[in-house]
């Protein structure tokens, strides 16, 4: 039951980043992942294009993009 938000794409810094509002283990989280692009492979920071470089998540109660309150299962 992840929140599919039409406003997220406007906030993406580059196509190599992915931002999701996900529901996992009873909490809502804003998750951001950054993937390697050809330049990262060229300078040796990644083995292949699309390799996951960084992933982080923070607990949220509202969608930071559209402001919707995210419902908890009860």
| Six token digits for residue 20 | 């999701």
- Alpha-carbon span 45 to 38, nearest angstrom: 10
Nearer to Zn ion, 30 or 46 (CB): 30
Subset of 31-70 contacting Zn ion (CB under 5 A): 63, 65-66, 68
Taking the complex as a whole, the smallest distance from the CB of residue 23 to Zn ion amounts, in Å, to 13
Nearer to Zn ion, 49 or 72 (CB): 72
Let me know if 28 is exposed, middle or buried by CB neighbors in 10 A (0-12, 13-18, 19+): buried
Residues within the interface to Zn ion (CB under 5 A): 5, 63, 65-66, 68
């Amino acid at each position: 039951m992840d929140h599919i938000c039409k406003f997220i794409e406007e906030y993406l810094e580059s196509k190599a980043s992915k931002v999701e509002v996900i529901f996992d283990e009873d909490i809502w989280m804003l998750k951001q992942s950054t993937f390697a692009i050809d330049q990262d492979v060229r300078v040796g920071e990644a083995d292949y294009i699309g390799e996951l470089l960084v992933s982080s998540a923070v607990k949220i109660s509202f969608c930071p993009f559209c402001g919707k309150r995210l419902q908890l299962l009860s």
